[in-house]
Protein backbone atom coordinates (compact mmCIF):
# COMPACT_ATOMS: atom_id res chain seq x y z
CA UNK A 1 0.00 0.00 0.00
CA UNK A 2 1.44 3.35 -1.06
CA UNK A 3 1.47 6.49 1.05
CA UNK A 4 -0.13 9.57 -0.51
CA UNK A 5 1.95 12.74 -0.09
CA UNK A 6 0.35 16.02 -1.14
CA UNK A 7 2.89 18.70 -2.04
CA UNK A 8 2.22 22.32 -1.10
CA UNK A 9 1.91 23.43 -4.75
CA UNK A 10 -0.73 20.74 -5.40
CA UNK A 11 -2.76 21.74 -2.35
CA UNK A 12 -2.46 25.41 -3.35
CA UNK A 13 -3.60 24.58 -6.90
CA UNK A 14 -6.65 22.67 -5.64
CA UNK A 15 -7.50 25.43 -3.18
CA UNK A 16 -7.35 28.09 -5.93
CA UNK A 17 -9.64 26.06 -8.19
CA UNK A 18 -12.10 25.37 -5.36
CA UNK A 19 -12.15 29.03 -4.28
CA UNK A 20 -12.84 30.14 -7.85
CA UNK A 21 -15.77 27.71 -8.15
CA UNK A 22 -17.05 28.56 -4.65
CA UNK A 23 -17.63 32.18 -5.64
CA UNK A 24 -20.58 31.10 -7.75
CA UNK A 25 -21.37 27.63 -6.35
CA UNK A 26 -20.09 26.60 -2.91
CA UNK A 27 -21.73 23.18 -3.11
CA UNK A 28 -20.00 22.38 -6.42
CA UNK A 29 -16.64 23.44 -4.98
CA UNK A 30 -17.09 21.11 -1.99
CA UNK A 31 -18.16 18.22 -4.24
CA UNK A 32 -15.19 18.71 -6.54
CA UNK A 33 -12.74 18.77 -3.63
CA UNK A 34 -14.24 15.58 -2.20
CA UNK A 35 -14.14 13.85 -5.60
CA UNK A 36 -10.46 14.76 -5.99
CA UNK A 37 -9.55 13.37 -2.57
CA UNK A 38 -11.62 10.22 -3.20
CA UNK A 39 -9.94 9.58 -6.56
CA UNK A 40 -6.48 10.21 -5.12
CA UNK A 41 -7.09 7.86 -2.20
CA UNK A 42 -7.52 5.01 -4.70
CA UNK A 43 -3.86 5.47 -5.66
CA UNK A 44 -2.89 3.97 -2.29
CA UNK A 45 -3.78 0.53 -3.67
CA UNK A 46 -3.23 1.22 -7.38
CA UNK A 47 -0.42 3.80 -7.69
CA UNK A 48 0.34 2.99 -11.33
CA UNK A 49 -3.29 3.29 -12.45
CA UNK A 50 -3.06 6.84 -13.80
CA UNK A 51 -2.31 7.62 -17.43
CA UNK A 52 0.98 9.04 -18.61
CA UNK A 53 0.36 12.65 -19.72
CA UNK A 54 1.09 13.11 -23.43
CA UNK A 55 2.97 16.34 -22.69
CA UNK A 56 5.26 14.60 -20.15
CA UNK A 57 5.71 11.22 -21.79
CA UNK A 58 9.48 11.19 -21.13
CA UNK A 59 9.07 11.81 -17.40
CA UNK A 60 7.87 9.41 -14.74
CA UNK A 61 4.66 11.39 -14.19
CA UNK A 62 1.11 10.11 -14.24
CA UNK A 63 -2.24 11.83 -14.09
CA UNK A 64 -5.80 11.23 -13.03
CA UNK A 65 -8.70 13.33 -14.23
CA UNK A 66 -11.54 14.64 -12.10
CA UNK A 67 -13.47 17.05 -14.31
CA UNK A 68 -12.50 19.85 -14.66
CA UNK A 69 -9.10 18.99 -13.13
CA UNK A 70 -6.00 17.09 -14.13
CA UNK A 71 -4.04 15.83 -11.13
CA UNK A 72 -0.37 15.05 -11.76
CA UNK A 73 1.60 12.71 -9.57
CA UNK A 74 4.80 10.71 -9.38
CA UNK A 75 5.34 7.30 -7.82
CA UNK A 76 8.61 6.85 -5.92
CA UNK A 77 9.02 3.52 -4.13
CA UNK A 78 6.05 3.24 -1.77
CA UNK A 79 5.01 6.91 -1.97
CA UNK A 80 2.71 8.72 -4.37
CA UNK A 81 3.59 12.42 -4.59
CA UNK A 82 0.71 14.62 -5.74
CA UNK A 83 2.56 17.36 -7.63
CA UNK A 84 0.04 19.65 -9.36
CA UNK A 85 -3.65 20.13 -9.93
CA UNK A 86 -4.73 22.18 -12.92
CA UNK A 87 -7.88 22.91 -14.87
CA UNK A 88 -8.06 20.81 -18.03
CA UNK A 89 -8.33 23.73 -20.41
CA UNK A 90 -4.99 25.19 -19.36
CA UNK A 91 -1.85 24.58 -21.40
CA UNK A 92 0.33 22.24 -19.34
CA UNK A 93 3.66 23.56 -20.59
CA UNK A 94 2.70 27.15 -19.81
CA UNK A 95 1.28 26.08 -16.43
CA UNK A 96 4.55 24.36 -15.44
CA UNK A 97 6.66 27.29 -16.61
CA UNK A 98 4.72 29.63 -14.32
CA UNK A 99 5.66 27.51 -11.26
What does the pLDDT look like over 15-47, one tens digit per residue? 999 999 999 999 999 999 999 999 999 999 999
Cis peptide bond prior to 68, omega within 30° of 0: yes
Query: For position 76, what pLDDT does the model report?
Result: 94
DSSP the chain: -PEEEE-HHHHHHHHHHHHHHHHH-HHHHHHHHHHHHHHHHGGGT-TT-SBPPGGGTTTTEEEEEETTEEEEEEEETTEEEEEEEEETTS-HHHHHHH-
Phi, psi at 89, each rounded to 5°: -80, -10
In this model, does residue 91 exceed pLDDT 70? Answer: no
Exposed, middle or buried by CB within 10 Å (0-12, 13-18, 19+), for 56? middle
Q: Which domain holds residue 74?
A: 3-98
pLDDT (average), residues 78-88 = 93
Q: Average model confidence (pLDDT) for the chain?
A: 90
* Closest by Cα among 81, 4, 68 to 41: 4
How many domains does one find in the chain?
1
pLDDT (average), residues 70-90 = 91
**pLDDT above 70 covers what percent of the chain?**
89
**Other Cβ atoms within 10 Å of 85 Cβ, number:** 25
Query: For position 13, what pLDDT does the model report?
Result: 95
Q: What is the pLDDT of residues 53-69, one digit of tens each?
A: 887 777 889 999 999 99
In this model, does residue 93 exceed pLDDT 70? Answer: no
In this model, does residue 98 exceed pLDDT 60? Answer: no
Q: CATH code at 15?
A: 3.30.2310.20
Amino acid sequence: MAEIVWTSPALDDLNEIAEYIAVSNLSAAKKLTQKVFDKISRLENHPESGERPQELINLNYREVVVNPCRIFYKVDNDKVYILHVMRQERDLRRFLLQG
